[in-house]
Amino acid sequence: GIGPRIAGLLIANIADPARFANIAKLWAYAGMHTQPVCGDCDHVLSHAPSEPQVSDASQVPIENHATPASQSVVESRRPCASQKPDEPHQGTASQKWHETPRVLASQRKFEPHCQLACPKCGSKNITNRAARRRAGHKANWSSELKTTLWKAAGSFVKTRGPYRTAYETYKNNLIERQMRRNEIIWRRDTKTNKYAPAFLPTCFHEGNTPKPPEKPDWTLGRIDAMAKRWTAKLFLSHLWAAWRELEGMPVTKPYAFETLKHKDYVSPWLMIDDANIEEVSRLLKQNAA
C-alpha cells in the first residue's frame, strides 16, 4: 500500500530496530504516544521542560557511551588544577546545553497521572491526549517520521489491501460505539459551512434532532483521523516486529496482548498482499472492539 519513497523514509528515520526494545518506544518516537493534558485549562504537563526537538534518527540517544572524540571534549571541560573540586564549572551556554541529558518520550519514567496536578491551575483533571504540537512546548518526537506515517496511512486508504480493511474496520467500530453512546456524528457542509447529522442514534429518529453546534465534539473528520492514526500504529507495530524478526532479535507483542492478555493478535505476516481478507477482518473487528 506504500511506494518506495515512503518506505525509504520509514527505514531512514527508524534506522535500527534495536534502538527500540518494544513497540511502545517506537510509537513514542514516532509521535504516536499520548501526553497528560489538563482538562480544565488545556495545559500540557511536561515531564522535562528542557527537552529539545528530535528531527531525525541520528539525534536519538541510545546509550551514554563516550567515543574517543567525545572523551577528549569531556577532558577539556574538566576543571583545571587551580579550580576547587566543589567549584561549579563555568562553561558557555552551548556547552551546558550539550551536557544536559536528553530525555525522550520513550525513555521517561512511569508516573501515574492520578498523582499529577496541573502547575498552571492546580486542577487534577488530567487526561491523556494524542501528542501534537503546542505553543510554548518543544516536540520530543521525530516530526519527519510522524509525517511519513500519516502519508502511509493516507496511501493505505487509497488502495485495496489488508490495511485498508483495518482502516474501514476501526472506522466502523468508532461509528457504532458512538451510536451506542447516543452521540451524534456531524458532517460539515462545504457550501453553507454548517454542520448536519451524518449518523443519528435511534433516540433522535423521531424528529427531535438538536440544533447543530458551532464546534461539535464528534465529526466525520475526527472519526477519519482516529482511524488513520490507529492504522498507522498497527502498520508500525508490524514493521517493527517483522524487521526485528528478520534481524534475529527478540520480538514482544504490544502491551495489550503481552500484559493484559488480550486475544486475537494480528500477526504482521497476515497483512501481506495475498492475505485472507475475511480472516484479517474477523481478527481486526475483535481487536478494535
Could you tell me the three cell numbers for 18?
A: 534495536
Burial classification of residue 162, based on how many CB atoms lie within 10 Å of its CB (0-12 exposed, 13-18 middle, 19 or more buried): buried
118 and 199 in a single domain? The answer is: no
Q: Where are the beta strands (DSSP E) in 152-258?
A: 185-189, 194-199
In this predicted structure, what is the pLDDT of residue 92? 45
**Band of residue 279 on the pLDDT scale cut at 50, 70, 90:** low
Residues 6 or more apart whose CB falls under 8 angstroms from that of 53 comprise: 138, 139, 140, 143
Contact 10, 153 (CB under 8 A): no
Instruction: Tell me the average pLDDT across 49-68.
Output: 41
Task: Report the distance separating Cα 23 and Cα 75, nearest Å.
Answer: 37
31: left (phi over 0), alpha (psi -120 to 50) or beta: left
Q: What's the pLDDT tens digit per position in 130-175?
A: 888 878 778 888 899 999 999 999 999 998 888 898 899 999 999 9
Residues 6 or more apart whose CB falls under 8 angstroms from that of 6 comprise: 148, 151, 152, 155
Residue 48 CB neighbour total at 10 angstroms: 16
In this predicted structure, what is the pLDDT of residue 65? 40
Instruction: Tell me the average pLDDT across 29-35.
Output: 88
Task: Report the distance separating Cα 185 and Cα 200, nearest Å.
Answer: 7
Q: What's the pLDDT tens digit per position in 214-262?
A: 888 899 999 999 999 999 999 999 999 989 988 899 888 888 787 777 7
163 and 216 in a single domain? The answer is: yes
79 and 15 in a single domain? The answer is: no
173 and 278 in a single domain? The answer is: yes
63 and 109 in a single domain? The answer is: yes
Least confident of 91-105, 158-172, 200-214: 91-105
281 and 261 in a single domain? The answer is: yes
For residue 126, pLDDT beyond 80: yes
168 and 246 in a single domain? The answer is: yes
Contact 173, 289 (CB under 8 A): yes
For residue 118, pLDDT beyond 50: yes
Percent above pLDDT 90 for the chain: 26
pTM of the shown model: 0.68
Q: Where are the beta strands (DSSP E) in the chain?
A: 34-38, 126-130, 185-189, 194-199
For residue 277, pLDDT beyond 50: yes
As for how many domains the chain has, the answer is 2
Give the DSSP H/E element, type plus range, for residue 15.
Answer: none
**Band of residue 96 on the pLDDT scale cut at 50, 70, 90:** very low
Task: Report the distance separating Cα 57 and Cα 146, nearest Å.
Answer: 12
Domain residues for the domain of 97 are 35-140
**Band of residue 14 on the pLDDT scale cut at 50, 70, 90:** very high
116 and 241 in a single domain? The answer is: no
Question: Cell numbers 577528549 label which residue?
Answer: 72
21 and 145 in a single domain? The answer is: yes
Coil, strand or helix at 128: strand
Q: Which amino acid is at 181?
A: R
258 and 157 in a single domain? The answer is: yes
160 and 251 in a single domain? The answer is: yes
In this predicted structure, what is the pLDDT of residue 255? 80
